[in-house]
Structure 1
Amino acid sequence: METLATGTDEPITVIVSYHIKPDREEDFKQWVSGIIRTAGTFDGHQGGYFFRSPDRTSKQYIAYKAVFRFDHHSNLITWEESKERQSWLVQLQPLLEKKLQYEKHEGMEFWFDLPDIPPKTIPRYKMAIVTLLAVYPLILTLYTLLPLVLPAGIPKFITILISCVCTCLLMTWFVMPFMTRIFSSWLFKDA
């Protein structure tokens, strides 16, 4: 697997495409359960989602996608280089029709979306509800705590700017990965 060249240790989302032999789909589902359990024991793992790809045109293979997240790129590398992961990849080889394909993405672009699922698949009202459930408590908490830690008499626009920066950082690296994981079965129910 290629490693993403990065000078930072940011959260990272990995997308893997699987092309499974049609007669090995049940074996693949068992493999998925096992690797998810194992990956969940590694530091920084924030969840994984496997789903059957909408591409059903080939009779030679069944396409699946996986999206999984790590809180830091360094934790992903630890997982990628682990003996446990290597063992799972060896078990996967007889199930594959084609070579695995990987994509890695940093940042907030993957708050909600999954590859090969059109954005309209996740209803906007669901995205709005989950975002509101994440943002409202965060803003209330910052509104309460910031005046306690900032110097007295600081201009209101500076306080708002600091609040916005904190909200964006927390939403991107902690809150939305957590919320997406908790609400994934509801958000991606029809995906």
Structure 2
Amino acid sequence: MNEPVTVVVTRRVKAGRQAEYEAWLTQLLRDVTALPGYLGTTVHRPPPGGPREYTSVFRFDSIASLRAFESSDLRRHALQAVSSLVEADAAWRQLSGLEFWFSPPAGTVVPQPSRARMAIVMVVVVYALVLSIGQLVGVALAGAPSAMRLLVTIVIEVALMTWVIMPRLTRVLARWIYR
């Protein structure tokens, strides 16, 4: 099964090179939108006077799409272009599935997501899934024991939340969740 994958890239920009880095980043984000399987990027910028660390969160629809990006000429050229603007090689961290629903990368300077808003999103999603999937499984497996129907319902709901609903919903609601 193809599973969306998230890559968190942290770079420390050389002093006085932030404007050039921003221009490089803008161009990179423009270029990657044409890649197959690219789902989007969130950039966490440093606060004024802060440590000059930028964290970019790239999302791809599968590990294969990520690997294609990693081996692309686009990435190779981008890394060559940025090397003079940063203090060292970037720190890369790959995440997938549940672990990145609501967790921004460690060390970012953005506010943490609102716990109340995360709870609201989760309640709405779980409620909708329990009602809809529960009904469908109940009809499809009417003769099965209730424990079996419950297990099938949970498996379907968790899979939908992990790979379909939450990655898309958190992208759509990100501004509201982090407000």
What TM-score, normalized to structure 2? 0.84
Q: Does 1:47 align with 2:40?
A: yes
Which residue of the partner structure matches residue 146 of structure 1?
137
Q: Does 1:173 align with 2:163?
A: yes
* Separation in structure 2 between the aligned mates of residue 134 and residue 30 of structure 1, nearest angstrom: 38
**Which one of the candidate residues 127, 141, 155 is aligned to 2:118?**
127
How far did 1:95 drift? 1.6
Aligned partner letter, 2:22: K
- Tell me how large the CA RMSD over aligned residues is: 2.6
Q: Does 1:89 align with 2:79?
A: yes
How do 1:94-105 and structure 2 match up within 5 A? 94-105=84-95
Identity %: 31
Can you give the 5+ residue segments of structure 2 that lack an aligned partner in the other structure?
Answer: none
* Separation in structure 2 between the aligned mates of residue 93 and residue 118 of structure 1, nearest angstrom: 23
How far did 1:9 drift? 5.2
The answer on whether the counterparts of 1:46 and 1:178 sit within 8 Å (CA) in structure 2 is no
State the SS of the aligned residue for 1:95.
Answer: coil
* Separation in structure 2 between the aligned mates of residue 111 and residue 163 of structure 1, nearest angstrom: 21
* Separation in structure 2 between the aligned mates of residue 56 and residue 9 of structure 1, nearest angstrom: 41
Which residue of the partner structure matches residue 14 of structure 1?
7
**Which one of the candidate residues 59, 71, 74 is aligned to 2:64?**
74
Superposed CA deviations along residues 76-105 of structure 1, whole A, max 9, x for unmatched, are 101111122222222222221222111112
* Separation in structure 1 between the aligned mates of residue 49 and residue 6 of structure 2, nearest angstrom: 25
Residues 168 and 186 of structure 1: CA distance in aligned 2, closer, same or farther (over 3 Å): same
Q: Does 1:114 align with 2:104?
A: yes
Can you give the 5+ residue segments of structure 1 that lack an aligned partner in the other structure?
Answer: 1-7
What TM-score, normalized to structure 1? 0.79
